[in-house]
Every structure is written in structure tokens, then in C-alpha cells.
Structure 1
Amino acid sequence: MKQSKSSTLGTASISSLLVKQAVPASIGILVMSLNMIVDTIFVGRWIGPLAISAITVVIPVTFFIGAIGLAVGIGGSSVLSRALGSGSHEKALRVFGNQVTLTFLTSGMLAILGLVFQDRLIELFGADESFKDLALIYYRIVMYGIVMLAMCMMGNNVIRAEGKPKFAMYAMMLPAIGNIFMDYILINVFDFGMYGAAWATFISYFICFAFIVWFFIFKSELRLSLDSFKLKRKIVSEISALSSVTLARQGVISVFTVLVNNVLISTGDALDVASYGIISRALMFALFPVIGVNQGFLPIAGYNYGAEKFQRVRESINKSILYSGGLALVIFAVIMVFAPDLVSIFISNKEGQDAETLRNNAEILARTPNALRWVFAATPVIAVQLIGSSYFQAIGKAWPALLLSLTKQGFFLIPLILILPKYYGVFGVWIAFPIADVLSTIVTGYYLNSEVRRTLK
């Protein structure tokens, strides 16, 4: 009976599966994104723009350590989906147990190192004296709970690979709602400032972790034994090969964020870092339905490839690109029209604020809307890049998946960020985004088309 949940990935219509998988994933991502958005709004309106800058420079290290769990989750779940598709339930159990062990050990070690070298890391990530103390407050507390975040990111992808996307959605919704509630209580009611923002985030990690543990004890078809947690070289190698795709992509994103923060500080000032903080939140929030389709596509493609149902794999690719491309076009139109309104949400001009805060708020409102439009300028074409790179990961081809996942940030965006600001200043940072989107889409589209023609006959 439990097996039927995953077996439907090989029998139900692709359209219905995409809806079933993508809608809960999209809702979960939406709520998680709203969490980050509201968190930034509360910090910006109740603490000030420099607090947004502080959170922005902390994100790369917490993002990378949390991405350990995401990488092991996505990479291992590709192996797990194909094991379920081929009927090898014992291998699926072993894979999941090894995912838990790998995530805990790796994220724990990195968290310890992150706390030991916190002062150097904060400066490296672009913090200057105007907001370094705020950044350190947030960083220390969030790092105490980062292992829980990594375990949550891993577990969430395993839940989706089991064919239970609603529970994966709940795993993202509950901590997000908890964080928003605690932000309000700790920042606005108790006036704990940056400490309140940090502890609210820590509590949200704990809520997510508690839910993930509950699911795998009471609801999962993957019943682990102690032996499942013992690392096996062959399985670790298989998980690592595919996890390296996501980890490299997330690692490059972290490096890119550090680079952008430093470039913005050197060519602009701390308020440009705050602008990027707002834009990065908008990127995750606005693209939630596109990312949701991509998340829904992964287990469908992986399961049917493992079951050698290649026509269904082709159909899943085509429909995923069609659906996510249409959604991306709508998002593009909304950003172009409502950019100033979106930015104004993060800024408070209420009476009683000091003159410096009012000046900073006015600068943010003047600088950010056009920057936001440029960053989203090539949004309509990104579906091909996302689905294309994910396809190779879903079918277990780690090397092309790794290369294609790095095309935007690694091969195009980072070099453009290093070159364009020398000639165009801060504006060069913003125009690098659409150029990288177009170039990476061309490369990914070419390789995806070639692979489909060659293998999915």
C-alpha cells in the first residue's frame, strides 16, 4: 500500500503529476520565500536599512552550510527515486540512511569552523564597520541552528522523492510561519532588535527539524534501522557524485554573493548591499512557481528514467518547460510594472525616525527599482536553463549536470561581475544578470536537445 505512493510517478498522467508535485512545492517555496521577505521587511522597517545589509552578508555562509543538506537531499533522492522506480526498496533505505549521516557530519563540521573563524568570515563576506556588529549578532545565533537547517533541507527532498509532496510543503510552511510570528514578537513587541531576528530564525530551524523527524518516524515508507546509517563506499560515491552538482551550484551562488557584496561596497556603499539584499529576496519570492515546477519535475523524470519509460521522460521535460516558461513570463511583467511598489514594502518612512535613517530609506527607494528591473530582464527564458540542468541530475548524469548548473553563476555571471563594474560601476552589477541568463539558456538548451535526441528514443 505504501509503495503505491511512489509507483504513481510511473503511471499517472504527466500533467497531473506535475500539478501534484509542483503545486505543493511551489506553495512551500512561496511560504518559505514569504518568510525571508517578511523577515527582511521587519528588519528593514523596525531596525533599519543597515540591518538588511547585515543579513545580506551573513546569508552566504549559512546558505552554503544549509546547502549541504540540500545537495545531499537532491543528489541522494535522484538515486532513491531510481531505486524505487526499479523496485529496489532495500537500496532506497540504505541511500536514505547514508544521506542522514553525510548531512549531519558535514554540516556539523562546517558549523564549528564557521563559529571559530566568524570575525574573518564576516569581513570576507563584505561587512564594513557601519554594520559589522549587527552582522555578527545575527551570524552567531543562526549558526547554532544551522545543522538543523541542513537536515531539514535533506529530509524535504527525500519526502518529495517518496511521492509525498504535501508533507514536503508542510515542512517548509511550518517553520516559515513560525519565523514570521517570532519575528513580530521578538523584534516588534519585545524590541530585541537584531537578537530577536536571529533567535526567530533559530526557532524556525527547530520547528522544521521537529516536523521532519516526526514524518520519518510516523509517516514515511522508509523505515530505517541502525545499519542503514553506516556509510557504504559505493552508495556514498553515488550520492556524492550527484550531490556535487547541487553543492557546486549552491557553493558558486555563495561565492557569487560574497563577490557581489564586495564589489558593491568597493564601487558603491552599504546601501547598495541593502538594495541587493532586497533584490535577492525578490528573486526567490517571485520565481517560486518556476522553482516549484522544477522541483516537481525531478522525481517524475528520475522515476520514469529508472523504469525506462522514456516517452514519459520526454513528455515531462516538454511540459515542465512549457509550464515554467509561461509562469516566468507573467513574473517578468509584474516586476516591470510594479518594481517601485515592491521595493517600498521594505522601507518605513514613519515619523520619529532619525535623519540618517530617513536619508538611507530615500536612497534605497531611488536606487533599487531600476536595478530590480534589470536583474529580472531575461526572466522569460530561464525555464530552459533550470529544467535542462535538472534533467541530467534526475537521470544520474552528474558531470553534464554539474557543468550546466554552473553555466549561469560560474561561467558567465561571476566573470561579468568582475568585468562590467570596472566600466559601468554599480550598474554593471545589475546588467550582468540578464546577460548571464541568456547565455546560459543558449548553452543548456543546446545540450538538452542533443541528449534527448540521442538517448530518449
Structure 2
Amino acid sequence: MRNENLALEFEKRGVLGTILKFSIPSSIGAIIGMLCVLTDRYFIGQVAGRGGMSAIAIVFPYMMIINSVNFLFSGVAIISGVELGKGNRDRAEKVLGSSFLWILIVGVFLSGILYMFNDKILLLMGASSSNFQDAKDYTKFIIPITVFQIILGQSTLIRGIGDPITAMGVNIFTAFLNIILDYIFIFKLSMGILGASMATFIATALSAIYIVFYFIRSDVVKLRIENLKINFSILKEVFKIGSPRFYNQLLQSVLVIVTNKKAGIYGGDLATAAIGIISIVRGVINTSMQGFNQGTAAIISYNYGAKNYERLVEVLKVQLKTVITIALSMVIIMFLDAKTIVGVFVKNDMELINYTANAMKINLVMMCSTAIFLACNNFFQSMKENKIATRYFFIRIGVLNIPLVYILSYFIGANGVWMAFPVTDTIVALAILVSTYKRIKSFKVQ
């Protein structure tokens, strides 16, 4: 039978109030998590300067690959949310149990592969003699973080079962512990970039362990020993849901590698270091929007399972208005004082500051289009409509962004690398809006 508390929360209460209850903690948690990344980069920039920032840019695809596997298991929260909406608690618990076992298997396997080919992968990503060792040091603790990172990603399910405060608390704990350990390892123990990766590993591992115990004690959907079974049908279903974001993240990794190499060709280490900084600022904006999207995903999934389509559409409208406002506000702030923002991450390097500030304005000018794309794609994913979500992810990166980096850089150099991003997101945002409108119209027919 259905959980009446969830039914009241997701179906009966005011739309705006419900969205805010779930999205504000999600957004705060995501922003604080990003604060951890910002602090990490700040410390590295202060200690290692341009060389450290370029090393981070090289390693960034590594972290994206690990996150891609995390996204592959994001289907656990969506499937469980839909099943709880239908009143199938036993089914939700079976999905949770089998998925946790698969997380361990996949995480350990991936870590082993990355360790075996670490040097070759770093060279493939564009590492040079000046940043190879720093990049390698950073991966020493980033690679074994895989299992814990995937488990930490299941905090979305905590939010989905009606406990957004705990989900936010996990993110806050992870971020602040990471910041404290960063300071100790980098400055007090003089461990440099290696200390930064060690701090990330410890903070993530402890938070992941907490999540495991949370589900063991949960009254809504419990992690039970008898459900820790290898179930290929559940794995297939989970992967089917998570595959759009998985493929997107893999393509994003390829995009970052291509961007690093093209920027390096036309701008050298200066452009590579600029990428490291721009990716942080873009990440802050994306994280703010995705935090809100994560909060609405649970509401969309539940109401889709309950066939409450009118409420589902209301949620989407509020979601679009909010993420567009977030993106527009942050872009305005960035344009007003880009040099100050860049100066946070580097000191005594005006050449890098001026170069990055100009490149960042080109790269981030159309973040409102990015906001539309992310919100609409989250809408399709939350309803388990994976073909549409996957198609748009592929069009965005594989068909548009990567080719445009090559084409535009060929004609206008490094500026073409930065310009490829806003052009891509403007085109794909218009296309996905049309698909979203058609899907909403179909609800009225059902």
C-alpha cells in the first residue's frame, strides 16, 4: 500500500511549498558540496599556482568518469520513487538492495582498471611534462574513491523518501570535513596536491558509510541483507534510467579532453589553466540549478507514478522559472566582476586573470539556455523516459559541442573553443522545449 505521508507531501500540499521543501535543502547541499570543490581549487591555486590549476584541468575528466558511474546508478532513486508512488515498498527495497551490491562490484572493478592504466590515461587527457606529476599525485586518492562516491550519490533517494534535511546534512558534512582536511593536509602538513585528494577521499568515505547505516535503519525503504543479491533485471532497469546522464558524463569527459587539447594548441598552458578556472565557475552555476532539479525529481517521479499529471506540469513550470532566474543572476554577477572571481583562484598572475576573465564571459554568456536544457531533461528522466533524455544528451555533446570546438577553433582560435559552448546550449534548449511541450500536451489526452 502507498505511504500516506508521502502521498500527502507529494500530491496534496501546495506545489510551491512542496518544491521549496525538497529543493532548498537539495540546492543548499549541492552548493555547499561545490563550496568544497571551490575551496579545494583555491588551496591548490595558492600553493601550486598556474601549474596546479592546469593539473586539475587535466584530471577533471577522471572525476567526470567516476561521476558518470555514479549517474548510472541514479536510477535507483527514480525507480524507488515511482514504486513508492504505486505503493510497492517491497519492490523498492529489492531495487535498493541489489543496487548496493552492484555498486560495490562495479566500483571496485572500475578503480582497478583506472589504476592499471593511470599513466596512459593522463597522457591521453593532455598531461604535459610540466603538470604530469601533479596530475598523477591527485589521482592517487581520487581513483579509490569510486565506490564511496557512488554510494554518496544515493543521498538522492534519501530526499526521495521524504527526508531532504538529512540528504542536505550529508552534503554539508562532506563539504566541511573536506575543507578542514584540505587546510590541514595542504598547509599544515605541506602535502600539496596529494593532500587535497586525500582530504576528498576521507570525507567522501565517511559520508558514504553513514548513508549505508541510514538505509539499514530506515522505516520507509530499508536496506536488507536478504535483498543483497545479484539481480541482472534490476541492474538493467537501473542502468536504463541512469544511462542518459551516464552517456552525457562520458561524452562530457571526451569534450573536456578535446577542449583541453584544442585550448592547449591555440593558447598553451595559459589556456589550459583558464579551463581549470572556467570549469569551476560553470560548475557553481550548474550545481545551483541541478540542486534545485534534484529536489523536483522526487516530486515528478512520485506524481508520474500516481498519474497526477496536472501537478507534475505545475512542478515543471516552477522549476523552469527558478533555474532560469538562478542562471541569469549568476551570469550578471560574473559579467560585472569577472576578474575578481578569477582572482580568487590565482594570485600574482595578471596575465592568467585577464585571459580567463575574457574567456569566461564568452563561455558562460548563454547559461540560461543551459538551465532550460537541464530542467527539461530532468523532467524526462524523472518520468523514466530515457530515450528522449539520452537522445538530447547525445545531440548536445556528440553532435553539436565536440564538432563545434573543432570547427570554431579552426577559424577563430581559442575564442572558438569558448564560443562552442553557448552556441550548443542555445540550439539544444530550443529543441528540447519543443519536445517538452509535446509531452505535456499528451498528458491532456490520457
- Shared fold, TM over 0.5: yes
2:162 is paired with a residue whose SS is: coil
Instruction: Tell me the equivalent position of 1:104.
Output: 104
Q: Is the 1:96–1:158 Cα contact (8 Å) retained in structure 2?
A: no
CA–CA separation in structure 2 for the residues paired with 1:404 and 1:455: 21
2:11 is equivalent to residue 10 of structure 1? yes
Aligned-pair CA distance for 1:176: 1.0
Per-residue Cα deviation, 1:175-194 (whole angstroms, up to 9, x for no partner): 11111111111111121112
RMSD of aligned C-alpha atoms? Answer: 1.7
1:23-38 superposed matches below 5 A = 23-38=24-39
- In the aligned structure 2, how far is the partner of 1:293 from the partner of 1:415? 30
Contact 1:2/1:221 (<8 A) preserved: no
| Deviations, residues 144-200 of structure 1 (Å, cap 9, x unaligned) | 2222112211x2122122121111111211111111111111111121112211211
Equivalent position of 1:303 in the other structure: 302
Aligned to 1:356: none
Contact map agreement 2:82 2:305 (CA 8 A) in 1: yes
CA contact (8 A) 2:61 2:125 kept: yes
Bigger shift: residues 81-90 or 328-337: 328-337
Cα deviation 1:121-152 (Å, max 9, x = unaligned) = 00011111111011111112221222211221
- Counterpart-to-counterpart distance in 1, 2:276 and 2:132: 15
Query: What CA distance in whole angstroms lies between the structure 2 residues aligned with 1:112 and 1:53?
Result: 26
1:34-433 mapped onto 2 (5 Å cutoff):
34-73=35-74, 75-153=75-153, 155-219=154-218, 221-349=220-348, 361-433=349-421
**Do 1:174 and 1:208's aligned partners in 2 also have CA atoms closer than 8 Å?**
yes
Give distance in 1, aligned partners of 2:95 and 2:55.
38
- How far the C-alpha of 1:243 sits from its partner, in A, is 1.3
The answer to whether the 8 Å contact 2:19/2:296 transfers is yes
Render the CA deviation track for 1:435-457: whole Å, top value 9, x for unaligned. 01100101110111111112344
Give the 3 Å change call, closer, same or farther, for CA 95–341 of structure 1 in structure 2.
Answer: same
- Aligned equivalents of 2:288, 2:444: Cα separation in 1: 27
> 8 Å contact 2:72–2:238 — kept in the other structure?
no
- Letter of the 1:196 counterpart: G
Partners of 2:343 and 2:102 lie apart in 1 by 42
Distance 2:367 2:67 in 1: 26
Which amino acid in structure 2 is aligned with residue 156 of structure 1? S
Q: 1:2 Cα shift?
A: 11
Post-superposition offset of 1:210: 2.5
Q: Give me the whole-angstrom Cα distance separating, in 2, the residues matched to 1:103 and 1:194.
A: 28
Residues 294-337 of structure 1, C-alpha deviation per residue, up to 9 Å, x if partnerless? 11121111100100101011111111111211222211211111
Match of 2:435 in 1: 447
- Give the letter aligned to residue 162 of structure 1: I
Residues 2, 85 of structure 2: 8 Å contact kept = no
Distance 2:72 2:444 in 1: 26
CA distances 1:351-371 after superposition (whole Å, capped 9, x unpaired): xxxxxxxxxx22211210111
Letter of the aligned partner of 2:201 in structure 1? Answer: F
TM-score when scaled to structure 2?
Answer: 0.96
TM-superposed CA distance for 1:220, in Å, is 5.3
Q: Is the 8 A contact 1:287 1:331 kept in 2?
A: no
- Relative to 1, partners in 2 of residues 1:54 and 1:2: Cα closer, same or farther, differing over 3 Å? farther
Moved more, 75-84 or 216-225: 216-225
- Is the partner of 1:332 in helix, strand or coil? helix
- Distance in 1 (CA, whole Å) between partners of 2:375 and 2:66 is 24
Query: Contact 1:146 / 1:205 at 8 angstroms: preserved in 2?
Result: no
- Contact in 1 for aligned 2:52/2:131 (Cα 8 Å): yes
Return the alpha-carbon distance in structure 2 between the equivalents of residues 5 and 258 of structure 1.
46
Return closer, same or farther for 1:123/1:421 CA change in 2, 3 Å cut-off. Answer: same
Q: Counterparts of 2:159 and 2:38 in 1: how far apart (Å)?
A: 25
Confirm or deny: 8 A CA contact 2:2 2:87 kept in the other structure.
no
Q: 3-state DSSP class of the match of 1:167?
A: helix
Q: Which residue of 1 aligns with 2:21?
A: 20
2 CA distance for matches of 1:381 and 1:145?
Answer: 33
Please tell me the residue identity of whatever aligns with 1:137: D
Cα separation, 2, equivalents of 1:287 and 1:429: 19
Distance (Å, rounded) in 1 between the aligned partners of 2:49 and 2:444: 54
Structure 2 distance, partners of 1:67, 1:167, is 24
Q: Could you list the runs of 5+ residues in structure 1 that have no partner in the other structure?
A: 350-360
Separation in 1 of the partners of 2:308 and 2:103? 32
Q: 1:2 to 1:216 in 2, by over 3 A?
A: farther
Q: Deviations over 1:22-42 (max 9, x none)?
A: 111111111111111111011
Q: Aligned partners of 2:219 and 2:365: how far apart in 1?
A: 42
- Inter-partner Cα distance in structure 2 for 1:138 and 1:298: 33
Does the 8 Å CA contact 1:50/1:271 hold for their aligned counterparts?
A: no
Q: Deviations over 1:1-59 (max 9, x none)?
A: 99345331122221111101111111111111111111101100122221111122112
8 A contact 2:23–2:293 mirrored in 1:
yes
| Matched positions, count | 444
The letter of the residue matching 1:435 is V
Question: Higher mean Cα deviation, 170-179 or 138-147?
Answer: 138-147
Given that residues 57 and 273 in structure 2 are in contact (C-alpha distance below 8 angstroms), is that contact kept between their aligned partners in structure 1?
Answer: yes
Deviations 1:93-121 (A, max 9, x none): 01111221222211221110000000100
